[in-house]
Chains A and B, each alone.
Chain A
Amino acid sequence: MRSDTETPRAAARITRVALQALIDALIARGYAVIGPTVRDGAIVYDQLSTTAELPAGWTDEQAPGRYRLQRRDDDALFGFAVGPHSWKRYLHPPMETLWTARSSADGFDFSAAPSPTEKYAFLGVRACELQAIAIQDRVFQHDRFRDTAYAARRDNALIVAVHCAQPASTCFCSSMQSGPKARGAFDLALTELLDAERHDFLVEVGSPAGAELLDSLAAAEATRADLDAADAVIAQAERRMGRTIDSSVFRERLRDRAEHPRWTEVADRCLSCGNCTMVCPTCFCTTVEDHTDLSGAQAERVRKWDSCFTMEFSYIHGGSVRQSTGARYRQWMTHKLSSWVDQFGSSGCVGCGRCIAWCPVGIDIAAEATAICADTPPTPGATP
């Protein structure tokens, strides 16, 4: 069993070359290894089989509404911040069949979708992403409401975390207490140790499965110097964090400032395109669609990612509850930063910055929340 609280016991060191042995060991154990790779001008997640597919020597330049790949002046494999994809794509896929039905003599025969059999090993999971996975675990595996397909994929998954070395200008994980040091439930955690003399990885073990994997690799025991070097990597990441915000006031003030004029102001800029919710690693909302075939003999229900920015999302008899863009933006931000705490016991934001970089018009949740929650209360304004 993995443990959230224990500090990893063993630490070892492997070379960059041995990282291939880790991938091989995962594949040999039946895992599909999913990790970062360069595609379409970005660092995305995809299935990998060799370290040659990792983004060696690449990094990213991110800003509100902007993402560009950049060359590094070294060969770091994990020298970048989170990109357009998150592990949500795999654990909570964008489209999933829930059931199918066939018409029969006395009505319908229903069959549940087969339980997922995918066995994923995620390579390069960042601290904020571990936290995001933990948040989705609470959403989907909450005792009474267990999403069995999610639970099956999650139980089968193995996590190789990588402590962050290079936050983007959009990152604020330290303000959300989720990074840059990976603290959640990982099987193994790597720190990339790269300088003129060497290219190694410090490996921490977080579970028996991780320990078993490490045993199969040519690992050396970590020295004091290795541990210090790894700490230094995380410390410098902390210092280079893109932004720092005071998130402690969000819960109360967002709840109390539903009439803040800023909501309408954001709505002038917001496209209500839904990109922010799609890229957010914790947003979980879905819609269901029913499909029938031409003969009417077969039906299926599919579930698709949805967003609180669509009109259909809040549609009840007579129309959509949230008519204005301001009301929809308010729903998104207030859910993430305030009502999520009431619902699931933590903030719904891990500070990954994806919604900032991947918003086409660069609306910045950290800046907006900070403005709405400023110490001086707002002057009364228009209600969205």
Chain B
Amino acid sequence: MTPRPRLAVWKFASCDGCQLSLLDCEDELLSLADAIEIANFPEASSAISAGPYDLSLVEGSITTAHDAERIREVRRQSKFLVTIGACATAGGIQALRNFADINDFVAAVYASPQYIQTLATSTPISAHVAVDFELRGCPINKLQLLEVITAYLAGRKPAIAAHSVCIECKQRGTVCVAVQGTPCLGPVTHAGCGAICPAYRRGCYGCYGPMETPNTAALAALLKSQGASERELLHAFRSFNAGAEAFAAQSRKHEPAAGGESP
């Protein structure tokens, strides 16, 4: 038997939810272990074998100088590097700090702020090292994670669409909630979840970040016509994917200083 490719899973600033998607692949876990050597996955096993690794899955964003160094080492050790989730791909919810003064947050949260060493921003992995594939979602969809891994093993391009959530929503046969008056970010959001929220009669929250050609200005105009305040618009574009360029730029247009009403 030829040696199996070696897998490593890395964690940076994140909640662990995306890594857990891998453990959540209960039915496939055994065949996964047959196909790939899980060489370094601290969340699952304390047995860690040294690099280099064929495939690295990276969760989390870069928020400290130490992590900014560590990701370089991860890159050096990895042949193929895949970021998993909104943190690793767009900076995560913690990228809200990018729009404020980090010292204010630190002072508000910690009793002894002098011990906290952190960067002023939360940045995606791609801002630091070359990334071979970015898998979106907060958290990622485990079926998409399996698709990325099987595609890697087969040496093919993963079948991960970058179009709007709307296309998945329509494939599913869901009645569009936007057209019935509920604010929905689906038209500017990257597919991948299978359009879960509209299937439960809620608007999309944008967990997967911007789709390939997001017209955020046109969507903001629609949300506004449906009654959204400037503050609600700011919040709509500034959540798990606040740091993603298209959402960050749109959210800035709704800041009080940009003419949006005060919060």
- The contact of B164 among A269, A273, A289, A292, by CB within 8 Å, is A273
- The contact of A312 among B32, B162, B188, by CB within 8 Å, is B162
- Residues A291 and B159 in contact, CB atoms below 8 Å apart: yes
Most interface-central of A85, A89, A275 (chain B CB within 10 A): A275
> With A65-B179, A68-B180 as given contacts, are A309 and B163 in contact (CB-CB < 8 Å)?
yes
Identify which of residues 207-263 in chain B touch chain A, using a CB-to-CB cut-off of 8 Å.
Answer: 212-213, 215, 217-219, 221-222
Q: How far is the CA of A312 from the CA of B158 in the complex (A)?
A: 13
Nearest B residue (CB) for A291: B159
Q: Which residues of B contact A10 (CB under 8 A)?
A: none
> With A39-B175, A95-B171, A361-B222 as given contacts, are A312 and B163 in contact (CB-CB < 8 Å)?
yes
- Residues A292 and B213 in contact, CB atoms below 8 Å apart: no
Give the distance to chain B from A311, nearest Cβ to Cβ, in Å: 5
Q: How far is the CA of A146 from the CA of B173 in the complex (A)?
A: 26
Q: Please, what's the 1-or-0 string for A44-70, where 1 marks a CB less than 8 Å from any CB in chain B?
A: 100000000000000000000111100
Q: How far is the CA of A278 from the CA of B181 in the complex (A)?
A: 20
Q: Which residues of B contact A358 (CB under 8 A)?
A: 176, 179
- Residues A42 and B31 in contact, CB atoms below 8 Å apart: no
> With A89-B173, A273-B166, A275-B170 as given contacts, are A294 and B150 in contact (CB-CB < 8 Å)?
yes
> With A39-B175, A65-B179, A67-B179 as given contacts, are A278 and B218 in contact (CB-CB < 8 Å)?
no
- Residues B176 and A275 in contact, CB atoms below 8 Å apart: yes
- Residues A304 and B171 in contact, CB atoms below 8 Å apart: yes
Q: Is B15's beta carbon under 8 Å from chain A?
A: no
> With A41-B180, A270-B215, A270-B218 as given contacts, are A296 and B153 in contact (CB-CB < 8 Å)?
yes
Q: Is B100's beta carbon under 8 Å from chain A?
A: no
Give the number of residues in A that approach B within 8 Å (Cβ atoms). Answer: 45
- Residues A274 and B154 in contact, CB atoms below 8 Å apart: no
Q: Which residues of B contact A65 (CB under 8 A)?
A: 178-179, 222
Q: Which residues of A contact B163 (CB under 8 A)?
A: 274, 307, 309-312
Q: Which residues of B contact A357 (CB under 8 A)?
A: 179
Q: How far is the CA of A94 from the CA of B154 in the complex (A)?
A: 26
Q: Which residues of B contact A325 (CB under 8 A)?
A: 213, 215
Give the distance to chain A from B209, nearest Cβ to Cβ, in Å: 15
Q: Is B146's beta carbon under 8 Å from chain A?
A: yes
- Residues B219 and A271 in contact, CB atoms below 8 Å apart: yes
Give the distance to chain A from B198, nearest Cβ to Cβ, in Å: 9
> With A294-B31, A295-B35, A296-B153 as given contacts, are A271 and B215 in contact (CB-CB < 8 Å)?
yes
Q: Please, what's the 1-or-0 string for A191-229, where 1 marks a CB less than 8 Å from any CB in chain B?
A: 000000000000000000000000000000000000000
- Residues A278 and B170 in contact, CB atoms below 8 Å apart: yes
Nearest B residue (CB) for A363: B218
Q: How far is the CA of A272 from the CA of B166 in the complex (A)?
A: 10
Q: Is B186's beta carbon under 8 Å from chain A?
A: yes
- Residues A292 and B179 in contact, CB atoms below 8 Å apart: no
- Residues B162 and A360 in contact, CB atoms below 8 Å apart: no
> With A294-B146, A325-B213 as given contacts, are A271 and B170 in contact (CB-CB < 8 Å)?
no
Q: Which residues of B contact A295 (CB under 8 A)?
A: 31, 34-35
Q: Is B161's beta carbon under 8 Å from chain A?
A: yes
Q: Which residues of B contact A95 (CB under 8 A)?
A: 171
What are 26 pairs between A and B in contact, CB < 8 Å?
A39-B175, A41-B175, A41-B180, A67-B179, A67-B180, A94-B173, A95-B171, A269-B218, A271-B219, A272-B164, A272-B213, A273-B187, A278-B170, A279-B170, A290-B156, A292-B153, A292-B156, A294-B35, A294-B146, A307-B167, A310-B162, A310-B163, A310-B212, A311-B163, A312-B162, A361-B222
B residues whose Cβ falls under 8 Å from a Cβ of A: 28, 31-32, 34-36, 146-147, 149-151, 153-154, 156, 159, 161-164, 166-167, 170-176, 178-181, 184, 186-188, 201, 212-213, 215, 217-219, 221-222
The 6 closest A-B pairs by CB, nearest first: A278-B170, A273-B187, A289-B159, A94-B171, A271-B187, A310-B163
